[in-house]
Amino acid sequence: MPRVAAVLEYDGSGFAGYQIQSGRTDRTVQACVESALTTVLRSNERVPILGSARTDTGVHAVAQVIAFDIEHDEIPSRLVHSLCAVLRPDAQIRAVCEVAPDFNPRKSATVREYCYLIWNSGIPASFMRDRMLWQSQSLDVDSMAEATQHILGAHDFTSFCATESKGQGSMRRRVESIQLFQRGAVIILRVRANAFLHNMIRIMVGTLLEVGEGKRAASSVADILAAKDRGAAGRTAAALGLTLTGIEFPPKDCLTEIHPETNDFRTMLFEGAEPIGQRPFVD
């Protein structure tokens, strides 16, 4: 029974998050993909999937990596096309490859990357309005970039975690890279870490927005981390601006065939772009 890895992308606008919620019937990415797999593979039982990241309601993905088992001797040649025909346009499989029987995308992932898009203009955008947060007040992006240096590295991110999620394990995470880009009216925050807490990036964005608005000093982010108190940080930014843009795995997992860490969305955002206040990766 081969195990298959697949790159999945979805528009989170119409989903109540990635993961099926016990006792609830909301539309989730996991439920839709499992239903499609069950249909396409003509299975008598529901085909379960494992995901690399559990995105919240309204959060998008262009590089979610999932894994599932099939009862065939090899991957059907038209599996991707068949799944795309069954799935709705807001969730699509991009590529598949066979992996080791014990491959688990959540446990194997070493780096997860998210991007948050802000439309900083006095006039709202109609194009991609469901992919960017509209911020009408002009932002001081240099101060925002300065503030990110305090987030880089390994910290206790209790202050950047949703209150209801505290007490569910270690609050310590390692942010390997955090960069701010600006392309015209579009401001992009790009964050890479080993893992993220619930709402961690959205609270980071809300805090950085308050720095950009002049409501907080860039240096205050260090104090926010030290406080280990959700009340010390800024607001939680809306989900619509957040997209899962990359997952990386150890070479032993042999995912080079599907390149989950590269996609056209990232190319569009970052090709030829220089980050504001370059922040190097942590050794």
- In this structure, the strands spanning 133-135 and 111-120 are parallel
Question: Of 56, 69, 142, 156, which is the active-site residue?
Answer: 56
Q: How many CA atoms lie within 13 A of 184 on its CB side?
A: 5
> Which are the contacts of 63, defined by CB distance < 8 A and separation ≥ 6?
7, 9, 113, 244, 245, 246, 247, 260, 261, 263
- Two tokens, residue 90: 């807001």
Distances from the Cα of 94 to the Cα of 7, 138, 153, 228, 264, angstroms = 5, 37, 32, 40, 11
Please state, in angstroms and rounded to a whole number, the distance separating the CA atoms of residues 98 and 4: 5
243 with 61: CB under 8 angstroms?
yes
- In this structure, the strands spanning 60-69 and 242-248 are parallel
State yes or no: is 264 an active-site residue: no
Measuring CA to CA, which residue among 112, 10, 109, 110 is closest to residue 50? 109
Annotated active-site positions, please? 56
